[in-house]
Chains A and B, each alone.
Chain A
Amino acid sequence: MKTSLNDHQYILYSKQMLLADVSEQGQLALLNANVAVVGVGGLGQLVAQYLAAAGVGQIHLIDDDKVALSNLPRQLLFNPTDIESNKAHVAADKLQQRNRDSKISAHSIRLTSDNYQLLFNTISPQAIFDCSDNFATRQLINRIAVEQHLPLFSAAISADQGQWFAYLPESMLTKIPRTNTRPHGCYHCVFPADSLLSQNCSEMGVLGPAVGIMASMQALAGMNYIVGRHVEFGVLHRFDAKRLSWSKATMAMDKHCCVCR
């Protein structure tokens, strides 16, 4: 565990530490943090860049997908020579070269109900970033957050509709200082597993900056949590990328939820 910064780190992270409620203590929290990023596509490649550049000490990148030509306009970490290579490995290699304070681990697997326990018991993250691209994986990540008592920072976008939220399992509520967070609904409380999506995401278009906005919100919320700032858990934020407008709603708990109750 790191308890002090060296001269290089003081300069490197000075703009973050100039924020009074981040300071050296918050930077040390980032350097000692261990997080999992599930999905290294449009959302995940940007979340991972922000976290690594901010000095998050351990980042686990989980994705079995390969870089494709059609990814390049919005997945700016990748370039044409990366096509057909595993996204988690490419991202880990590039981020590791740039960010020596972070240890970036690549897990080129598709997260499933059969493999998540072994993986999460091995990597023991303190937070999950859901950057996945399908509904089934989102349900699974929500279940992992509940079961493993992990805060979840989740974002999604299809076409011009973005959604993000931070979720804190009820078992974690007493462990977070300086918060008045009340029990709130999980992803399954809002979208039960049998929910119907209007279109498959692979059939939908999207503009790069719209994905970047959602990833930035997700990364920012996660960093605020790690440094000890207040985070508004249990609120679903919706972004209309055509009108550039936001709305939000409280995620009420479903007392019949088969995941979090």
Chain B
Amino acid sequence: MIEIHINGESQQLAANITLAEILALKHITPQSVAVVVNHTIIPRSQWSQHQCQADDQLEFFSAVSGG
């Protein structure tokens, strides 16, 4: 297990878990969010390959389009 911080909250998750697996675990629709890992937005096409590391800081957020 590794500790990962998601939107400021610490969580214990399986080592080598991918971003796509985290989203599935949290029942988050992939199309509804962008994912930041350690201050970099990871493109959605990479989520299934991107393995998280211990102490990674993750943030999920959605697009806004009003003006």
Tell me if A250 is interfacial: C-beta within 8 Å of chain B: yes
Complex Cα distance A197/B59, Å?
16
**Given A42, A161, A249, A256, which contacts B39 in the complex, CB threshold below 8 Å?**
A249
B66 pairs with A204, CB closer than 8 A: yes
Q: Which residue of A lies closest to B66 (CB)?
A: A201
Evaluate whether A190 and B41 lie within 8 angstroms (CB atoms) in the complex, with A196-B32, A254-B46 already known: yes
Chain B contributes a number of interface residues (CB within 8 A of A) equal to: 21
Residues of B within 8 A of A192 (CB): 31, 44
Chain A contributes a number of interface residues (CB within 8 A of B) equal to: 47
Q: Which residue of B lies closest to A204 (CB)?
A: B66
Tell me if A236 is interfacial: C-beta within 8 Å of chain B: yes
Tell me if A222 is interfacial: C-beta within 8 Å of chain B: no
User: Which B residues from 10 to 66 make CB contacts under 8 A with A?
Assistant: 29, 31-32, 34, 36, 39-46, 59, 61-66
21 contacts between A and B (CB under 8 A): A39-B67, A131-B67, A133-B65, A156-B64, A156-B65, A161-B64, A195-B31, A195-B63, A196-B29, A196-B62, A197-B62, A197-B64, A198-B62, A201-B66, A238-B61, A249-B36, A249-B40, A250-B40, A250-B41, A252-B40, A254-B43
Where the two chains meet, the residues of B that have a C-beta atom closer than 8 Å to any C-beta of A are 29, 31-32, 34, 36, 39-46, 59, 61-67
